[in-house]
Structures are given as structure tokens and as C-alpha cells.
């Protein structure tokens, strides 16, 4: 039922109001008070109301924060004295999808054990309902964003010029926070619209060309873009060039790590991170892909920052949730000291290539190709998928935890070698897919 980031899928198929009701009952049977919020998708209202009803049916009370970003919902669990949180969102997926993600009182996403407990209760949801007199209450609040804004840093920010691409999602708090801190802010697609008419929800380089153009044309200091629920942040530099997720990861890590401290990152993150962190006398802790896995590592002593190339950034001293609004304030402060383009130019030169191959059952396909990869390579890491390290690069093949895709990543110091490693990895995948009866 659960992937690497909660539950996601097409509404009416994977995601239904019936499932929302059962998940709400399960949540309400485990926790006394739950925060519930949602992103701007058209299906979110009905699904969130069903989840709220489920929490009540199991005797739990609800703090309904309404339409808010995922980091705001996660932060609201502690802000309102609740025990857990639920956000109805499909994050960066297409508008026809929706989903569910759950949060602990620390702001950490539910891990495998808590997800299993929920799933067990869902399977027996009728047993957790209570008599009418014991049903929970609903408290609707409207100040979640303001409370979140008060937690964000940057009261002493330099007056930077920033373009914020909200992408018709729930990321307006970033613009509000930067304006509140004295920045000159231009917004793109700031109107909430769950059909994402301005651009697709995922802020890829291809989807951020307008942002880059506005930054370049206006002479802004940097640009920031969010996905639909604003748990991701990506950026363009002062020239309008897209800053890759691996480059952002390295930028944030260098600014966060101290000698003897560690940063957490998934197995698919660039080796540039290891180079810059080790130069700062820190260490890198590798995890399986997924912000919940990075958050679990961030909860360990000595880890001061964690992130994913997809755009999720975690500072455990603040919260164990990926908070793109907090990241935005940190990034503007970093850019005020030295431009992002100059920082990126100072990093070691590598070429990282990423592709996705559609596959109905990615986990099964990756498992099937393991013998073939092991026959060709001695050094195979199975932390998440199959990673092969060579003398001059590496490649990784893994099943997506959120979509019916196989993710392929390759990295080397030259374009030609990275392309060759990517081609080799894709060849392994297609050899298995071509041999599978359709």
C-alpha cells in the first residue's frame, strides 16, 4: 500500500474516498489528535473530508488546517499540540492523482513500522469505530501559515531580488516570508489551481524555463520553484541557469556541515557531495531513496542536514520534515554571501545522467536483473535497487517508490563515460523487460 513517500495514485483507482475513510479510522484509532490538511488538487476536498470523518469515527479529534503546503501541515502537528498529521497530496504527480502522507509529532514522515501499523488497522477498520457519543471533534483553524512563517529564518536577510515560481500549488508562504524579510519578490503562477495550468507540478529543468527567463530578463539574484505541495525546492542561479538537485544538495551541505558532523543523502546522490563534505571534514551517511529514509538518518546524533536531489531538504535542528519554505530562506541567505553560479563553478566536475523507464512492476524487474548485473560486476550495492561502482564512475537501477517507473542514474567525470554507463544500465533493464511476456 505504501511507497517511499506515502500513498499516491490515480483518483478513483488507487486513491478513493473509501480508502481515505479507512486511513482516517486507522489514524484516529492510534492517536488522540490529528492534524489534517491538503494541497490544491480538485479531488482533495472530498478526500480530506472522508479522512477527517474516519478519524472522528475512531474517536480521534481533528485539527483541520485546510489547504496548506505539506511542510506547513507537518509543522502544524507540534504547533497545535497534536499527536500525528495527515496531508492529502500527490506532491509533484499529475493533477489526476492524489495521495496520503502521514507525520509524527516531531514532523518526521511515518516510516515502515508506522505505515505497517496503519495498514493493519485499515484491514480491520470496522473494528476501530466507536459509538456516536465517543466520536471525535473537528477544530478548523486558519493561522497555520502564519505560525509557520514565524518559524522561518532570515530576519536579517540582505534585500535580495528573488523570483518565486509557485507553480499554482501551495508554496505562496515562500514569497510571503521573503517579502516579510525585505526581499524584492516577483511571483509566477501564484494562484492556487490544482489542475496546474501554468506548468506541470514537478519543477524539472524543462518545467523551469520560464523561471530562468524571468530571472535573466529582470536581473534578479536567483529564482526558486516549488512542486504542487511545496515540499520540494529547486533553483535557478543569477544567470537564469538551472541549479541541479545534486548541486543544491552540495551547496546546502557545505553551509550546514561542521568538522566531525554528518549529512544524510540517498544512494542516488552525486559523488560531488562526498567530495565537498569531506573537504569540510564532515561525513556523508547514505540512505535508501525517499525523504522518509533521509529523515530517519537525520534523526540520528551528529547528522546536521539531509537532502535529496529531487529537492527535499531537512535541517533536523528545525524539523524532520522537508521544509521548502525554510530551505528558500536559507538559500537566499547563502546567495547573498556569494552567487549560486560562482558556488557551482567551484565544485568538482562530474556528469550525472538520469532517465526513467516505464514499467508496471519495477521492483520485480529490478530483482530479475540482479543476477545479470552481478555476473558482469563484482561491486554491487543493494541498499536501494542495484548500484554498481566502477573505477571511473557508477550507475544505479532502482524501482520508483511513487510511480510505475524504473529510475536509472549514471555518473562519471566525462560526458562520454557517463553516457556509456547510462547506456549499459538501460541495456540491463531492457534485457529484462524485453524478455518479460506482455
> Which residues are marked as active site?
91
Strands 97-104 and 7-10: antiparallel
The helix (H) or strand (E) run that includes residue 220 is none
- Bridge partner residues of 399 (DSSP): 406
Question: Whole-angstrom Cα distance, residue 290 to residue 307?
Answer: 10
Do the beta carbons of residue 246 and residue 307 sit within 8 Å?
no
Question: Whole-angstrom Cα distance, residue 276 to residue 246?
Answer: 12
Do the beta carbons of residue 66 and residue 53 sit within 8 Å?
no
Grid cell listed for 430:
531492457
Q: Distance from first CA to last CA of the chain, Å, rounded?
A: 24
- Can you point out the beta strands (E) in 152-228? 161-165, 184-188, 222-226
Query: How many residues belong to the chain?
Result: 438
What 8-state DSSP symbol labels residue 134? G
C-alpha distances (whole Å) from 383 to each of 149, 196, 286 are: 37, 35, 9
Question: Whole-angstrom Cα distance, residue 58 to residue 27?
Answer: 8
What 8-state DSSP symbol labels residue 293? H
What 8-state DSSP symbol labels residue 273? H
Grid cell listed for 319:
524539523
Amino acid at each position: 500500500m505504501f511507497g517511499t513517500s506515502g500513498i499516491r495514485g490515480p483518483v478513483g483507482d488507487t486513491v478513493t474516498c473509501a480508502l481515505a475513510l479507512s486511513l482516517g479510522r486507522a489514524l484516529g484509532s492510534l492517536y488522540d489528535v490529528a492534524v489534517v490538511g491538503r494541497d490544491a488538487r480538485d479531488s482533495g476536498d472530498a478526500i480530506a473530508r472522508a479522512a477527517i470523518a474516519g478519524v472522528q469515527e475512531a474517536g480521534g479529534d481533528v485539527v483541520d488546517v485546510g489547504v496548506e503546503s505539506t511542510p506547513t501541515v507537518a509543522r502544524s502537528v507540534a504547533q497545535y499540540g497534536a499527536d500525528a498529521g495527515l496531508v492529502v497530496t500527490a506532491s509533484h504527480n499529475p493533477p489526476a492523482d492524489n495521495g496520503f502522507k502521514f507525520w509524527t509529532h516531531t514532523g518526521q514522515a511515518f516510516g515502515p513500522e508506522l505505515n505497517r501499523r496503519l495498514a493493519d488497522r485499515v484491514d480491520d477498520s470496522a473494528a476501530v469505530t466507536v459509538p456516536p457519543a465517543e466520536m471525535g471533534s473537528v477544530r478548523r483553524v486558519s493561522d497555520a501559515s502564519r505560525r509557520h512563517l514565524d518559524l522561518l529564518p532570515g530576519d536579517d536577510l540582505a534585500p535580495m531580488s528573488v523570483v518565486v515560481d509557485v507553480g499554482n500549488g501551495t508554496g505562496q508562504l515562500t514569497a510571503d516570508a521573503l517579502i516579510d524579510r525585505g526581499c524584492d519578490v516577483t511571483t509566477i503562477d501564484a494562484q492556487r489551481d490544482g489542475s496546474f495550468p501554468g506548468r506541470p507540478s514537478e519543477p524539472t529543468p524543462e518545467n523551469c524555463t520560464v523561471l530562468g527567463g524571468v530571472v535573466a530578463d529582470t536581473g534578479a539574484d536567483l529564482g526558486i520553484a516549488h512542486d504542487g505541495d511545496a515540499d520540494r525546492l529547486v533553483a535557478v542561479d543569477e544567470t537564469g541557469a538551472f541549479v541541479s538537485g545534486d548541486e543544491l544538495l552540495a551547496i546546502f551541505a557545505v553551509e550546514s556541515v561542521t568538522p566531525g558532523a554528518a549529512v544524510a543523502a540517498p544512494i542516488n546522490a552525486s559523488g560531488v557531495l562526498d567530495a565537498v563534505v569531506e573537504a569540510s571534514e564532515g561525513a556523508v551517511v547514505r540512505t535508501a531513496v525517499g525523504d522518509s529514509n533521509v529523515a530517519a538518518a537525520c534523526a540520528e546524533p551528529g547528522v546536521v542536514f539531509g537532502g535529496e536531489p529531487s529537492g527535499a531538504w531537512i535541517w533536523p535542528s528545525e524539523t524532520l520534515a522537508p521544509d521548502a519554505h525554510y530551505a528558500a530562506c536559507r538559500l537566499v541567505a547563502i546567495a547573498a554571501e556569494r552567487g549560486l553560479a560562482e558556488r557551482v563553478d567551484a565544485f568538482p566536475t562530474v556528469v550525472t545522467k538520469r532517465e526513467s523507464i516505464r514499467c508496471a512492476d519495477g521492483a520485480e524487474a529490478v530483482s530479475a536483473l540482479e543476477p545479470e548485473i552481478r555476473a558482469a560486476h563484482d561491486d554491487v550495492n543493494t541498499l536501494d535497487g542495484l548500484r554498481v561502482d566502477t573505477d571511473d564512475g557508477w550507475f544505479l537501477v532502482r524501482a520508483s517508490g511513487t510511480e510505475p517507473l524504473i529510475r536509472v542514474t549514471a555518473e562519471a567525470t566525462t560526458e562520454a563515460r557517463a553516457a556509456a554507463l547510462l547506456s549499459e544500465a538501460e541495456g540491463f533493464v531492457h534485457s529484462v523487460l524485453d524478455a518479460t511476456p506482455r
